Structure 1
Amino acid sequence: MQGQDPADWTIPQDWSSYTPAEHAMWDRLFERQAKMLPGRASPTFLNGLDVLRLSKPGIPDFAELSKRLGRLTGWQVVAVPGLVPDEDFFRHLANRTFVAARFVRAPEQMDYLQEPDIFHDVFGHVPLLANPVFADYMQAYGEGGLRSLRYGAMNRLARLYWYTVEFGLIREEGQLRVYGAGIVSSFGESRFALDDPSPSRIALDLRRVMRTQYRIDDFQQTYFVIDSFEDLLRQTLETDFAPLYAELDGASDLDPGVVLPDDRVFHRGSQIRTAAAGS
């Protein structure tokens, strides 16, 4: 692709090339989620939307966004043509760089698209990077990802990313709220994750999560709940992952809908889907 840096897969965002229709699609998606999320999303996420000025009409300019984000936590946002190799993805995170798609979904993809677009990547992920604790977690995850490649354990660590960064819930003031990017950027799943009786909601445990398979083609059968972003970071920094990988190497994978006897369960799901699939 013209303009791509082969060293890190980045490309120019080329913000001036976005059409009025593409800006309008961002605004439609933003307005719909902005109405849905108060009372559902973590206040930390909502605060990130405000301090980064993501409510400004039109697709964000990564250069401007990175300046605001950099002043807060030292992160920046860069454009890539699509999914990047795992090692490069981890290296970007370890260096406080978040890679984001530059394309926005078409109108017929309003409720579902297979590959993450700029709305998922920027609206879903970037607000939490304005929080110093979550920003540190993402950097630690990137550093851990690079180490996991030496142990052939990337699939285990990928599950931790999936069930926290993408589809995590948090318990705040006695209430479950959403923070994972795959939920907060999805009109359907932002309701399903909290309201539907089908999925289970279980306290996060690193070993449990890293044994648990996940769905990529539907809403989740289980959501894992953290007590705080501080606790998530603490668990990640205090865990020696090398012996954990060795321990899990002989452990069987768990079905995404199973509930174990020693799970701390907030809600045992019926596993009967009552909501239409979406993203």
Structure 2
Amino acid sequence: METHVLDRPPEGANSDWTIPQNWSAYTAEEHATWDRLFERQSRLLPGRASKAFLNGLDVLRLSKPGIPDFEELSERLMKLTGWQVVAVPGLVPDAVFYEHLANRRFVAGNFIRRPEQLDYLQEPDVFHDVFGHVPMLADPRFADYVVAWGEGGLRSMKYDAIHRLARLYWYTVEFGLIEEDGNLRIYGAGIVSSKGESIFALDDPSPNRLRFDLARVMRTEYRIDDYQQNYFVIPSFDELLRVTVKTDFAPLYAQLDGKPDIPIAEILAGDEVITRGTQDYAQGKSLAL
């Protein structure tokens, strides 16, 4: 999550930064790129992704080929959890992002990567935003968690704590792991939408996999340009929602302000370590994808 470089909506956008998706303007090549990515990831993820994500994939199987039509997708999603998907031109300011999520509107870029960018794109496109995020929004528990996070984001601006909430989002919504039936599974959008990280997050010995702790996560730095060196594992979506809703964040922010940030890959004495990583990938020694 990053603030958009503009301080006002670009030309053609509404005051809330939304724009028409303009589904009819997508080219055959763009639809083919979506289909190629969708087929690759949906074949890879069984046995790796959480049950909630795999169940939610059905919401993306719509009547039209290729890139989902946001109107049809929103109609299906609204019936399940009250959410809708709205198009935006790219990254949006924090306050705009929080406001949309708090009101069950998920913002998605309406552009898709070029065929030569299948494996990496710096700015999130429609495949990351829709394939990565929307299936989880079909799960009532996770859908409510994202609402609670959006509401918390709006409150965090009064406490100069946006960076704390950004870390929580990063290590859950984007790069979260969950324990299911004694196994680790992926649910974060940044993982499930990436072929390489879908494998790396579970199979590579390099990263730390640590038990989720709210305060710990909100102190932990992260990087946006490579595979993660830490993953945090939640026991269930019910517990993630419970701890988010029940926590009084104002005193927690005050408590965290008196403590230093935790560098990436550092393990603390109080951490519950599920797997201690070698960090070989970060040091250029790993054979990871």
TM-score, length-scaled by structure 1: 0.97
Alpha-carbon contact 1:3-1:12 (below 8 Å) kept: no
Is it true that 1:201 corresponds to 2:209 in the alignment?
yes
Query: 1:70 corresponds to which residue?
Result: 78
Q: Distance in 2 between matches of 1:151 and 1:131?
A: 30
Is it true that 1:94 corresponds to 2:69 in the alignment?
no
Alpha-carbon contact 1:37-1:190 (below 8 Å) kept: yes
Q: Distance in 1 between matches of 2:137 and 2:230?
A: 25
Alpha-carbon contact 2:59-2:73 (below 8 Å) kept: no
- Residues matched between the structures, number: 276
Query: 2:222 corresponds to which residue?
Result: 214
Alpha-carbon contact 1:27-1:58 (below 8 Å) kept: yes
Q: SS of 1:146's equivalent? A: helix
Structure 1 residues 57 and 184: CA distance shift in structure 2, 3 A: same
Deviation per CA, 1:186-243: give whole Å up to 9, x if none: 0000000000000010000001000000011110001000000000000000100000
Query: Structure 1 residue aligned with 2:20, among 9, 12, 15?
Result: 12
Alpha-carbon contact 1:79-1:101 (below 8 Å) kept: yes
Q: Distance in 2 between matches of 1:28 and 1:108?
A: 12
Q: Distance in 2 between matches of 1:57 and 1:33?
A: 17
Is it true that 1:182 corresponds to 2:190 in the alignment?
yes
Q: What displacement does 1:33 show?
A: 0.4
Q: What displacement does 1:35 show?
A: 1.1
Query: 1:139 corresponds to which residue?
Result: 147
Structure 1 residues 168 and 39: CA distance shift in structure 2, 3 A: same
Gaps of 5+ in 1: none
**Structure 1 range deviating more: 87-96 or 52-61:** 52-61
RMSD between aligned alpha carbons? 1.2
Query: 2:5 corresponds to which residue?
Result: none
Q: SS of 1:188's equivalent? A: helix
Is it true that 1:191 corresponds to 2:199 in the alignment?
yes
Q: Distance in 2 between matches of 1:154 and 1:275?
A: 35
Query: Structure 1 residue aligned with 2:248, among 226, 240, 250?
Result: 240
Q: Which amino acid aligns with 2:13?
A: Q
TM-score, length-scaled by structure 2: 0.93
Gaps of 5+ in 2: 1-9
Q: Which amino acid aligns with 1:4?
A: A
Query: 1:40 corresponds to which residue?
Result: 48
Q: Distance in 1 between matches of 2:242 and 2:166?
A: 18
Query: 1:172 corresponds to which residue?
Result: 180
Q: What displacement does 1:53 show?
A: 2.1
Query: 1:117 corresponds to which residue?
Result: 125
Q: SS of 2:195's equivalent? A: coil
Q: Which amino acid aligns with 1:13?
A: Q
Q: What displacement does 1:260 show?
A: 1.0
Q: Distance in 1 between matches of 2:276 and 2:29?
A: 43
**Structure 1 range deviating more: 64-73 or 52-61:** 52-61
Q: SS of 2:274's equivalent? A: strand
Alpha-carbon contact 1:30-1:55 (below 8 Å) kept: no
Q: What displacement does 1:275 show?
A: 4.4
